[in-house]
């Protein structure tokens, strides 16, 4: 769901009643009736008037009415309306209170720390995708002659990721060529973050002689492996703690979140869809477009550089979640990660 709310016109009082019902239900988990609204929310109107408003909100599909209770509960449409109104408020963004100083240039570590902190703040499952631009912080390239015709190439990044390839040549490889390639690649590729396009340029440098360029062409696939692996990394925070809490509270919510965790590809797809600057996206129930995620809600925001999105961060939880707190926390997490990666990528 975007910041757009469902196409239903509400009076100010009906907006207030809907918001009150949803927030009371989020807090208690119980259906909410007119007497509860009068007693706990301080509405300056009679219970009979509130009952009329509750019935109207039910008639347009924003509230539901359990048969065994006089109270109402929010529908998915009601939650969408409520979340859309929260997105429109756009309060000042306060970065999430997370210390990324120890992460140094380790983007993966920053994502782990942020997802754990985000989960603790919201009591929800936190997720983040690694930077999806074709760039890597190459720290070291090693080329080893295992046999006269067999060479192994390892590329190690600042995040600890390792790409490895073993290449078999048609004939013996000159040890001097192997040592030259190792020195050349470390000299030209290990000075901070480098894009895939820049790597291709280094491997095809016009000043290289044909023999050198041919050898680099042979080892080039290891770099393709490195860049292809990057966008598929998903970081999940708070899973074990949250699952332990839910196990003794709500088996249905536990099963829903466990199912969402299994849908790794779907979560990555939803995070990629959030790469629109710092805009917050809320998807609830059927809006995910896949039955596997129907029981949950997901709030996401992109993070990155001023003119380039790099990844996304968000939370996943039951449809009955504290949207106000979650939206603020996700905005803050995205802001903290944006500040961090700007320092890393633009040194």
Assigned domain for 100 exists: yes
Assigned domain for 3 exists: no
Judge whether residue 247 has pLDDT over 70.
no
CA distance 94 to 51: 38
pLDDT (0 to 100) of residue 139: 84
Is 203 or 228 the better-scoring residue by pLDDT?
A: 203
CA distance 136 to 152: 20
- How would DSSP label each residue in 265-301? HHHHHHHHTT-BTB-EEEEEGGGGSSGGGTTEEEEEE
Joined tokens for residue 309: 């999105």
Q: How many domains does the chain have?
A: 3
Judge whether residue 97 has pLDDT over 70.
yes
Assigned domain for 225 exists: yes
Q: How confident is the model at residue 176 (pLDDT cuts 50, 70, 90)?
A: very high
CA distance 192 to 214: 26
Find the radius of gyration of the CA atoms of the chain.
26
State pTM to two decimals. 0.69
Q: Are residues 292 and 156 in the same domain?
A: no
pLDDT (0 to 100) of residue 287: 86
Which of the given ranges, 63-72, 186-195, 218-227, 294-303, has the highest pLDDT on average?
A: 294-303
Cβ(237)–Cβ(317) below 8 Å = no
Measured distance between the N- and C-terminal CA atoms of the chain, rounded to whole angstroms: 36
Q: Are residues 83 and 50 in the same domain?
A: yes
> Mean pLDDT over all residues of the chain?
83
- Which residue matches tokens 């590329």? 155
Q: How confident is the model at residue 2 (pLDDT cuts 50, 70, 90)?
A: very low
Instruction: Report the CATH number at residue 49.
Output: 1.10.10.10
Residues 65-92: tens digit of each pLDDT: 887 667 899 999 999 999 999 998 877 7
Q: Are residues 79 and 163 in the same domain?
A: no
Q: Are residues 121 and 196 in the same domain?
A: no
Q: Are residues 289 and 240 in the same domain?
A: yes
Q: Are residues 62 and 207 in the same domain?
A: no
Instruction: Report the CATH number at residue 222.
Output: 3.30.390.10
Residues 272-327: tens digit of each pLDDT: 777 665 589 999 988 887 777 788 889 999 998 887 778 899 998 888 899 999 99
166: helix, strand or coil: strand
Q: Are residues 140 and 188 in the same domain?
A: yes
Assigned domain for 148 exists: yes
Q: Are residues 255 and 340 in the same domain?
A: yes
Domain encompassing residue 51: 12-87
Other residues' Cβ atoms within 10 Å of the Cβ of residue 318? 18
Is 191 or 151 the better-scoring residue by pLDDT?
A: 151
Assigned domain for 195 exists: yes
Q: Partners of 166 in the beta sheet?
A: 152
- Which residue matches tokens 């979560």? 267
Residues 112-164: tens digit of each pLDDT: 899 999 999 998 889 998 875 556 778 888 999 899 999 999 888 776 667 88
Cβ(235)–Cβ(111) below 8 Å = yes
pLDDT (0 to 100) of residue 225: 72
Q: Partners of 162 in the beta sheet?
A: 156
pLDDT (0 to 100) of residue 1: 44
Assigned domain for 6 exists: no
Assigned domain for 269 exists: yes
């Amino acid at each position: 769901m975007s910041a757009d709310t469902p196409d239903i016109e509400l009076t100010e009082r009906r907006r207030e009643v809907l918001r009150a019902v949803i927030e009371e239900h989020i807090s208690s988990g119980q259906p909410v009736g007119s007497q509860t609204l009068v007693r706990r929310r301080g509405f300056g109107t009679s219970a009979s008037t509130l009952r009329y408003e509750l019935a109207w909100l039910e008639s347009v599909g924003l509230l539901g009415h359990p048969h065994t209770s006089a109270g109402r509960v929010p529908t998915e449409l009601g939650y969408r309306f409520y979340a859309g109104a929260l997105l429109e408020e756009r309060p000042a963004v306060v970065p999430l209170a997370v210390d990324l100083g120890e992460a140094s240039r380790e983007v993966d570590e920053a994502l782990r720390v942020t997802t754990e902190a985000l989960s603790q703040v919201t009591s929800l499952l936190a997720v983040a995708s690694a930077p999806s631009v074709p760039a890597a912080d190459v720290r070291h390239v090693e080329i080893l002659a295992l046999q006269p015709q067999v060479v192994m190439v390892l590329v190690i990044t600042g995040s600890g990721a390792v790409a490895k390839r073993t290449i078999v040549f048609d004939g013996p490889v000159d040890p001097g060529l192997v040592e030259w390639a190792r020195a050349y690649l470390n000299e030209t590729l290990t000075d901070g973050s480098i894009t895939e396009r820049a790597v291709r340029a280094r491997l095809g440098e016009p000043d290289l002689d044909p023999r050198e360029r041919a050898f680099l062409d042979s080892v080039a696939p290891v770099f393709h492996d490195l860049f292809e692996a990057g966008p598929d990394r998903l970081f999940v925070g708070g899973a074990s703690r949250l699952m332990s809490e839910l196990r003794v509270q709500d088996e249905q919510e536990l099963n829903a979140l466990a199912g969402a965790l299994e849908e790794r590809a779907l979560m990555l797809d939803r995070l990629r869809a959030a790469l629109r600057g710092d805009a917050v996206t809320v998807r609830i129930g059927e809006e995910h477009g896949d039955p596997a995620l129907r029981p949950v809600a997901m709030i996401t925001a992109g993070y990155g550089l001023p003119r380039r999105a790099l990844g996304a961060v968000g939370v996943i939880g039951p449809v009955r979640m504290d949207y106000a707190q979650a939206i603020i926390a996700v905005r803050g997490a995205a802001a903290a990660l944006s500040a961090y990666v700007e320092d890393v990528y633009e040194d």
